[in-house]
Every structure is written in structure tokens, then in C-alpha cells.
Amino acid sequence: MSDETSPLVLSPRLEELLQSLSDHAFAERLRKVYLAAGQAIARLSDLDLLKYETASVDESPDLSLWEEMAPVIRDTVMDVNALLNVIREQFAVSPVAGKAGAPLTATVETRRAKDASELLLGWMQQLAQGVTQLGEAMRNPAVVSDRWTLLTELQRLRARFREQIGNLVFESASAFGPVTRQQVVPGHEAEVKAAVMVRALVSDLARIVTARVAKVREAEPEDVQWNAQQLQTELDAFGRTAAYRHLRAQDKRHVIEVRGEVGRLAIQNSPRKQELLAAVEELDSFVRTLANVNQRQLLITHDREVWAGCGVRLERAFGLLGSDPAAAARALAEAAASAQSLYGRDARLDAFLRKVRKAPLAQLTGPELRSTLEALQSLLGGLEIM
């Protein structure tokens, strides 16, 4: 849980933009909105849904779940409304256009302030509409009477609120100068790290499940139960990872469904091979769909930046091969370390990254150094980052 007693501070880039404004009153109004946005994002991120989940998906409708989740739903609305109230208080009236004869810089700044204000008010309207949609969803018996449907909807809406608030900060700040989301959006770096981590662990799960499919297909009758027990252990291990916590509720539901079927087979003395094979093949197909995380704009932007940075390091390494092989090896090691955050983007690159994780790349020399450089450069060059 976040420490609500610790004061929030704006990012250095946001502070720099605000301090550059000649209209200090307007800058202070923006500062209040940005601080409220940071508070809202922190609170909307600070929810562990695991305690509301169950190990079963075959529950009958239970309206008592509404009572259990009501405080979370209430807090979600209150957190968004707190930000909306600050925006209304600070920007109920748009800034007045620059006066005739005003200095050019003041006129430009006034226009930018007007653009930022309009962006804030536009996102305020979208957030308000989202609160209305949340209320409508929570009045739908089909949603509130099913644990997994309710968790899925609540998770989706909270994620959308965070995204919209991030857009509010990013777009309004962009009116005053060039910025990146990482520089100005509260919680953006943590969200990127979580997405990178989920992708990596899901990629490893996909490898494990694919290997288990092959073993089950080749299994003799006396080995079927052992394979079911092994798969049960593998799924339990994945369920203890941080990646599992960050999965969407509907994805967790699917994992739990398969885990239940595998657990049933694991305790049978002579489980049918075809039943286990059907379960593990279904799991294999499902886990492959989790690779869609690569289509998130968050990861696409991250991956492009990492890819470009690795390319610069590799070019420097090639340039140093003849004059300073030791420095070239260090640049290679830096590039490979950075590329680890691309794990899960491409199977061939993943295999290379697993191989070099503990390899002393910074100590490579001669032909091995060159061949490793060429291998990583080729793999990165073959990446397709949409």
C-alpha cells in the first residue's frame, strides 16, 4: 500500500515547465491539478484484487459480493471525483486571451495556457462520463452478482481512469514544451516496469506449457498422472509470481479453470491421457494469447526506446573493436543488459537473452566478442515493433 502521509511531489520536468511560466498564478493552478492527478493515479493503482479472488470459478451468483466490494467501488468514484473537483475549482473559467499590444512571448504563453486549459476540461468531461459508466455497470445484476465479472469490470475501469488521467497530465503539459510520458505522468515508470515483468514471466510460462504439451503427448499411461502433477506444480509456481497479480481478472479466471481440471486429474490413480492433453493444449493456446500484451502502446513505446538505445551501444561497440576491445565488450554487456527488458517480444531474441544472462560478456575478446555482437545486432534488427 502507498504511504498516504508522504507528500506528493511533481516530477522535475513538470516543475521546470511550471517555473518557466511568467503567469505564476496560472502555474499554481496547474500545480494543484497535477498534484491531485498524481494522488488519484496512486490511489487507483493501490489495490490488490487478490483478496477478492477465489480458487474456484464455479460459484453461484452471490449478491453478498456487492457488500464486500462496495468500499472499493466507493473509493474509486471518490478518488476520481476528488480530481474532478480540483479541475473545476481551478479551471471553471478559461484564461483570458492576450491583450492587444502584449509582448509576443506573453501572447504565445497565453495561447498555450488556453490550449492546456481546454485539454484539461476535455479530459475532465471524459473522466466524468467514466464515473457515470461505472455507476451504470454497478447497477447491472449480471455484473455485481458474478465475482469474476465484477472484478474484471472494476479492474478495467480503474485502468482506464489511470490512463485518462495520465493523458490529462501529458497533453496539458505538452502545450508548454516537449515532454515524454515518463517525464511527466505520475506512476508511468512503475506501470511500464510491471508490463515488462508480466511479459517476461508470461513468456517463460508459455515455454513451460509448450514443453509440457510435448511431454504429455509422448507420455506412457503410467506417466500421465506424474505429468498432471508437474503441470499442477508449474501453475502453482506461476500463481505465486508478481506477474500473476498483474494479470487481468478474466485471464486469471482461465488459469484457475485449467488449474482445477489439472488438479482433478493429478489425484487420480490412472487419469486418461486425452483428458490431460486436452487441458494442457487448451492452456497452451490460452497462454499464447497473452502475448497480445506486446500490442499495448505502453510497451511499444518502451520497446522502441530500448531498441534504439541498444542499437547506439552496439554501433559504439563495433567502432571500438579494433582500437579498444575491452571497451567494446563493456558496450556489448550494456546493450545485452538493456535488451533484457525486451524479453518476451521475440522467441529468438529470448533464447539469446537467456543464454547470456549470466555470461561474462564484458570479458569477451577476439572472434567470440565479434560473433556475439553480430548475433545481438541481427536479432535486434529483425524485431518488428509496431
> What gap in Å lies between CA 294 and CA 282, rounded to an integer?
21
Do 251 and 302 share a domain, yes or no?
no
CATH of the domain at 275: 1.20.120
Which band of pLDDT confidence, cut at 50, 70 and 90, is reported for residue 56?
low
Do 283 and 305 share a domain, yes or no?
no
Do 89 and 220 share a domain, yes or no?
no
118 and 94 in contact (C-beta within 8 Å)? yes
What's the pLDDT score for residue 98? 44
Do 174 and 255 share a domain, yes or no?
no
Last residue in a domain, options 164, 186, 208: 186
In a domain, 3, yes or no: no
The closest alpha carbon to 90, from 38, 131, 31, 18, belongs to: 31
* pLDDT above 70: residue 104: no
pLDDT in tens, 151-183: 888 888 999 999 999 999 999 999 999 999 999
* pLDDT above 50: residue 355: yes
* pLDDT above 50: residue 123: yes
Do 162 and 17 share a domain, yes or no?
yes
Do 198 and 169 share a domain, yes or no?
no
> What gap in Å lies between CA 155 and CA 114, rounded to an integer?
34
Higher pLDDT, 86 or 151: 86
pLDDT in tens, 179-232: 999 999 998 998 999 999 999 999 999 999 999 999 999 999 999 999 999 999
In a domain, 284, yes or no: yes
Last residue in a domain, options 163, 186, 209: 186
Which band of pLDDT confidence, cut at 50, 70 and 90, is reported for residue 105?
low
State how many domains the chain has: 3
Range of the domain at 322: 297-381
The closest alpha carbon to 242, from 298, 197, 209, 287, belongs to: 197
Do 178 and 265 share a domain, yes or no?
no
In a domain, 2, yes or no: no
SS3 65: helix
Do 317 and 372 share a domain, yes or no?
yes
pTM (two decimals): 0.81
Last residue in a domain, options 186, 214, 245: 186
In a domain, 40, yes or no: yes
